[in-house]
Amino acid sequence: MRGVRSTAEGIQVVSTAKAPTGGVRVSVAGSGICGSDLHLASFGPSSVTLGHEFCGRLDDGTPVAVLPIVTCGHCERCLAGHDQQCASALGAMYGVSLDGGLADEVWVDPGCAKVLPPGVALDNACLVEPIAVALHGINRAGVEAGMRVLVIGAGPIGLCTIAAARSVGASVDLVANRRRRIEAGERLGANTSVGTEYDVVLEAAGTQGSMDKAIQLVRPGGTISILGNFWDPVAVGLGFQIKEVTLLPSYTYGHHHGVSEFEDAVRVLGAVPDLGDTIVTHRFPLDDAAEAFRVAGNRSTDAIKVVVHP
């Protein structure tokens, strides 16, 4: 079996043959490369196979998207529906602390294999994971039908956020600065004529500039929902304080009104047929994973989402 790991020589496809670790086997159909995979790879060699955005088939042929976080299911946070806050979650994530989906196959907890209904193409079902991130961000901010919201950033998370906000009936404006990504946002229903005084700004870039923009464009007393990962700290100043902005950090996904946001993401993927082919710009076979990472991490390639298909 092949798996993609960060090694002293960079990203490599290595032989990972070993006894099954329990659970169910998923023969991987597609695995997305996330911005956080690029960061993880930059931290040096890893002892686990990368990839937390993946889908495939069970041994009986059932198509599934894999929820990459194994939670305990019985702590106070899990029982409250905030599984993303479970103490077990960080230490039990496929592709981060457990072998992930950039591989031919992976063994997962049976509860993590979420069956795809007919009509959801397996080719793009690795997007269920970033869509779930987007749904959690809009749910945290209480985005609902008729609301006018602003999305900042049109990487995969920003684009999934546009689709998620549109799927609940919100009107979405977009601030982004790369032509291909702006066009992708427009295809998903975002307006690029930007106003001011937004009730909700969904920040999906994770930079100082995007934070400054969010504070500038949110209305006094409004809400900024943080979906982008701040790998470097950002500062907020007096403008933030004077506006009395509510800041809502958002991390992965859990339950909203009792509904699993990961499972709800399957619904969004099925409801927006263009979503996959709008976001996925590059596809590579598993043996070319090093090149896939290079393309994903190099601005000049203009890649949005790079997917590896074993």
Query: Which parts of this chain interact with Zn ion (CB under 5 A)?
Result: 34, 71-72, 75, 78, 86
Pick between residue 74 and residue 179 the one whose CB is nearest to Zn ion. Answer: 74
Q: Is residue 236 classed exposed, middle or buried when 0-12, 13-18 and 19+ CB atoms within 10 A define those classes?
A: middle
> What's the min distance (Å) between Cβ of 176 and Zn ion?
19
Q: In angstroms, what is the minimal distance from the CB of 229 to Zn ion? A: 9
Rank residues 3 and 222 by Cβ distance to Zn ion and give the closer one.
3
- Distance of closest approach, residue 282 Cβ to Zn ion, in angstroms: 16
Q: Supply the DSSP string of the chain, one letter for each residue.
A: -EEEEEETTEEEEEE------SSEEEEEEEEEEPHHHHHHHHT---SS---SEEEEE-TT--EEEE--B---SSSHHHHTT-GGG-TTTTTSBBTTTB--SSBSEEEE-GGGEEEPPTTS-GGGGGGHHHHHHHHHHHHHTT--TT-EEEEE--SHHHHHHHHHHHHTT-EEEEE---HHHHHHHHHTT-B----S-EEEEEE-S-SHHHHHHHHHHEEEEEEEEE-S--SS-----HHHHHTT-EEEE--S--EETTEEHHHHHHHHHHH-TTHHHHHEEEEEEGGGHHHHHHHHH-GGGT-SEEEEE-
CB 207 to Zn ion: min, Å: 17
Smallest separation, CB 245 to Zn ion (Å):
26
Nearer to Zn ion, 162 or 217 (CB): 162
The nearest distance, CB 52 to Zn ion, in angstroms, is 6
Identify which of residues 71 and 223 has a Cβ nearer to Zn ion in the complex. 71
User: Residue 37 or 264: which CB sits closer to Zn ion?
Assistant: 37
Please, which residue, 78 or 217, has the CB nearer to Zn ion? 78
Least distance CB 143 / Zn ion (angstroms): 21
Q: Which two tokens stand for residue 145?
A: 């039908």
Q: How far is the CB of 75 from Zn ion (least distance, A)?
A: 3
Tell me, letter by letter, the H, E, C secondary structure of 118-177.
CCCCHHHHHHHHHHHHHHHHHHHCCCCCCCEEEEECCCHHHHHHHHHHHHCCCEEEEECC
Closest CB to Zn ion among residues 3, 228: 228
Q: What are phi and psi of 259, to 5 degrees?
A: -100, 130
Give 34 or 269: the residue with its C-beta nearer to Zn ion. 34
